[in-house]
Amino acid sequence: MKTEGELAQFFSDVLAKKLAGIERIRIKTGRNRNRIIALIAIICTLLMTYFLLYDSGDLFGGIIFIMPIILCFLYIISLSLKDRYATAFKKEIIYAMVKFYDSRLTYTPDRGILPNAVEISDLFTGAVSKSSDYVEGQLDETFIQFSKISLVNNGFTGIFMISSFNKYYNGNYTILQRSYTGIESLIGKVFHTIDNEILAPIKMENPDFEKEFVVFGTNDIETRYIITPAFMEKMLEFRSKANNDLYISFRRSRMFLAFGTKSWNIFEPDLNKQATLEDIEQWGRALQLAIGMVEEFGLNTRIWSKQ
């Protein structure tokens, strides 16, 4: 695991130079955007002047017609410029950060976890509205992949992860925050239904864990085989580090994990200002949590044989 001191040194030795090059792109992109905004403002002013001088009777209707077009055009141009800068930034800075934490990982900024994988996890009911910043790689015995996702009709925005799991199991198991509105409904408190299969609530022996999470599973004994006392402690520690909601499920010999980031802006550069060490540290904490999951939960340990 990398320390904040090591990240700060990496920022000084490597990222600062890369940011200097990216800064020229940011300034140029910002100027181009401002020129386009100014041009649109001039066109808008000329149109309004024309309506006032030559066609005042249709002024209101003309403005109502033309303003949405102008605003949409401005929005599209602004997004296009921002996206081009963000892609260039991520290919330099976020890519370097991912390699800093583990050189075995690959990073693709414009790719994300497939919506089907989120559906298989059964962690959320909302559909994936967008996903990006995809990372994957083989970390010793464990293959991991994760990306940023945002869901509609759910409110979740954060990191969604998939990893191979180091224990063989037959059933389906889900661990959700007790505060999760999708499960804290009157019916959800009694049982959790997935693909017409009822996952009964299972009481765990750790009181602190019980306060934070609710566990659903198909087999009481197998639940404790997977979710051991040590695993519960690790979940509480991970929840504290993430300082946000945490969800885990076990399906098809894999472990699915999601933790919130409060905002879609994680890993997203600001076109209006240069990225700072504070930004890098914030993004680094999210990457450290995701990549460090393998070590935190001991997923490379193969004490139990997988059949």
Tell me, letter by letter, the H, E, C secondary structure of the chain.
Answer: CCCHHHHHHHHHHHHHHHHHHHHHHHHHHHHHHHHHHHHHHHHHHHHHHHHHHHCHHHHHHHHHHHHHHHHHHHHHHHHHHHHHHHHHHHHHHHHHHHHHHCCCCEEECCCCCCHHHHHHHCCCCCCEEEEEEEEEEEECCEEEEEEEEEECCCCCEEEEEEEECCCCCCCCEEEEECCCCCCCCCCCCCCEEECCEEEEEECCCCHHHHHHEEEEECCHHHHHHHCCHHHHHHHHHHHHHHCCCEEEEEECCEEEEEEECCCCCCCCCCCCCCCCHHHHHHHHHHHHHHHCHHHHCCCCCCCCCCC
120 vs 61, 111, 114, 253, 296, CA distance in Å? 51, 19, 10, 12, 24
The torsion angles phi and psi of 153, rounded to 5 degrees, stand at 55, 30
Tens digits of residue pLDDT in 285-298: 999 999 999 988 88
Mean pLDDT (the chain, rounded) = 85
Average pLDDT on 228-249 reads 92
Residue with tokens 């198909």: 218
- Place 190 in a pLDDT band, splitting at 50, 70 and 90: very low
CA distance 145 to 123: 17
Beta bridge partners, 260, equal 158
Q: CB under 8 Å to 41, separation ≥6 — which residues?
A: none
Average pLDDT on 141-161 reads 92
pLDDT at 64: 61
Provide the token pair at 62.
């003309």
How much of the chain, in percent, has pLDDT values that exceed 70?
84
For residue 265, is pLDDT > 80? yes
What sign has the CA pseudo-torsion 31, 37, 43, 48? negative
Tens digits of residue pLDDT in 34-66: 887 787 777 777 767 766 666 555 555 556 666
Highest mean pLDDT out of 57-71, 183-197, 200-214: 200-214
- Place 184 in a pLDDT band, splitting at 50, 70 and 90: very low
For residue 189, is pLDDT > 50? no
Beta bridge partners, 146, equal 135, 161
pLDDT at 66: 67
Could you tell me the residue ranges of all domains in the chain? Answer: 4-101, 106-296
pLDDT at 179: 77
The larger pLDDT score, comparing residue 199 to residue 175, is at 175
